[in-house]
Amino acid sequence: MALNLVMLGPPGAGKGTQASRLAQSRGVPHISTGEILREAVQAGTDLGRKAEMVIEAGQLVNDEIMIGIVNDRLGKDDARHGFLLDGFPRTVSQADALDNMLGVREPLVVIDLSVNDDELVRRLSTRRMCESCGAITGSVNGRPTATCGTCGGALKQRSDDREDVVRQRLIVYRQRTEPLIGYYQQRPTFRSIDGSQDEEAVAALVGAAVDGVAA
Q: What is the pLDDT of residue 105?
A: 82
Q: What is the pLDDT of residue 173?
A: 86
Give residue-wise pLDDT tens across range 117-128. 999 999 888 888
**pTM listed for this prediction:** 0.82
169 a catalytic residue = yes
Give residue-wise pLDDT tens across range 56-95. 775 667 888 889 889 988 999 999 889 999 989 988 999 9
Q: What is the pLDDT of residue 215?
A: 63
What is the 3-state secondary structure of the chain? Answer: CCEEEEEECCCCCCHHHHHHHHHHHHCCCEEEHHHHHHHHHHHCCHHHHHHHHHHHCCCCCCHHHHHHHHHHHHCCHHHCCEEEEECCCCCHHHHHHHHHHHCCCCCEEEEEEECCHHHHHHHHHHCEEECCCCCEECEECCEECCECCCCCCEEECCHHHCHHHHHHHHHHHHHHCCHHHHHHCCCCCEEEEECCCCHHHHHHHHHHHHHHHHC
90 a catalytic residue = yes
- 9, 17 in Cβ contact below 8 A? no
Give the whole-number percent of the chain exceeding pLDDT 70. 95
Catalytic residue selected from 90, 123, 128, 191:
90
**Could you give the CA distance from residue 6 to residue 210 in angstroms, rounded to a whole number?**
11
Mean pLDDT of 188-197: 95
Average confidence score pLDDT of the chain: 88
Q: What is the pLDDT of residue 9?
A: 92
Structural domain includes residue 158: no
Structural domain includes residue 126: no
Catalytic residue selected from 21, 50, 123, 169:
169
Catalytic residue selected from 50, 127, 128, 191:
127
Catalytic residue selected from 156, 158, 174, 176:
158
191 a catalytic residue = no
158 a catalytic residue = yes
pLDDT(146) > 90: no
**Could you give the CA distance from residue 18 to residue 152 in angstroms, rounded to a whole number?**
25
Structural domain includes residue 81: yes
CATH number of the domain encompassing residue 91: 3.40.50.300
Confidence of residue 191 (pLDDT cuts 50, 70, 90): very high
Structural domain includes residue 159: no
Q: What is the pLDDT of residue 150?
A: 84
Number of domains the chain contains: 1
Structural domain includes residue 130: no
Structural domain includes residue 134: no
Domain that holds residue 95: 3-115+177-214
Structural domain includes residue 41: yes
Catalytic residue selected from 15, 21, 50, 73:
15
Q: What is the pLDDT of residue 36?
A: 77
Structural domain includes residue 61: yes
15 a catalytic residue = yes
Mean pLDDT of 99-103: 92
Give residue-wise pLDDT tens across range 34-52. 777 877 788 888 878 887 8
